A = this chain, B = another copy of it.
Amino acid sequence: MSDDKKIGSYKFIAEPFHVDFNGRLTMGVLGNHLLNCAGFHASERGFGIATLNEDNYTWVLSRLAIDLEEMPYQYEEFTVQTWVENVYRLFTDRNFAIIDKDGKKIGYARSVWAMINLNTRKPADLLTLHGGSIVDYVCDEPCPIEKPSRIKVATDQPCAKLTAKYSDIDINGHVNSIRYIEHILDLFPIDLYKSKRIQRFEMAYVAESYYGDELSFFEEEVSENEYHVEIKKNGSEVVCRAKVKFV
């Protein structure tokens, strides 16, 4: 199969309510677009959520890492490309390139997904999915950014708390993956965004949280410009961890 068929390519525009006070697309909206592209790419090739759901399976996002030189500016067009890098028994690596209006690659992203059985919540074997056809789409397009790494947060003093509300909840009844990104970025003072931009953002999704859960945010500055954040629900269980690197 040609790489053309393996790589999905999708156009967007940086809408006015999707940019921050600097006029640059927000990381949450970019994350949303990336996950949508993953969905488009998978369903166009027969392994999307709709098809999987028929057999009681679904995709679960485990890791997301985004590394950028620049964010699209308000009203600018940009393109997201996505492809499958690896398929293992329990995980698959899906990568992305973000391309600006002039065709220049301004960033990349990596994601790691598992498939679970909706009845048992147990992971499913990706190599047998639809006769292993997902493997046909594996593509060696370069993705020159670091793989998601381990994120540790040592502090036990939360810097913020909030209760999950109506707007946080998705069709599965969980706080949606994008909302976590927004809540994490809201921990930082606006002055930081005035002088710096996010160069790398990483998320590790660990457990689901639900409507009414109290989410506590634990934040550590691990080195200059690099912050690790952990979200726990109801005081104990870890929901997700993030790494935010400013430049």
Contact = CB atoms under 8 A, between A and B. Distances in A.
A22 B190 CA distance: 34
A174 to B, nearest CB: 9
A88 interface: no
B169 A185 contact: no
Interface string A175-187: 0111000100110
Contacts of A199: none
A21 B178 contact: no
Residue of A21, A36, A74, A193 with highest tally of chain B CB at under 10 A: A21
Copies in the complex: 2
A35 B18 CA distance: 12
Interface residues of A, number: 36
B166 A185 contact: yes
Nearest to A177: B17
A185 B168 CA distance: 11
Given A186-B165, A188-B166, A171 B39 contact: no
